[in-house]
Amino acid sequence: MKILAVTTLSLLFSSGLMAQEEKKNVIYKYKEYEVIDLGSLEIKGQIMAPGDLTVNERERQSFKRSLLEKNNFDFENRREIENLR
């Protein structure tokens, strides 16, 4: 009984190993140059121009920066931090 089980398992595993195919290198060749004629395209719809686009000027916001509260910053670093936008 044990011999029968061992032989069937060995046959199953050996047949699985033999059934594998060799891997083939697949080389894809793409077009080197393609021309798209944008003049022949037709777009259906309405041309709509935007209305009034205005931007209101606002005052510059000043934010509180916790970096300036530290005592170990020298003058140049403090000036650079104050001028950040």
Q: Which two tokens stand for residue 63?
A: 């934010």
Residues 6+ apart with CB under 8 A from 73: 67, 81
Average pLDDT over residues 43-54: 75
CA dihedral 80, 60, 51, 39 (to 10 degrees): 0
Residue 77 main-chain phi, psi, to 5 deg: -65, -40
Q: Which two tokens stand for residue 29?
A: 């060749």
The one-letter amino acid at 45: G
**Entry pTM:** 0.21
Q: What is the pLDDT of residues 59-85, one digit of tens each?
A: 877 777 666 666 766 777 777 777 776
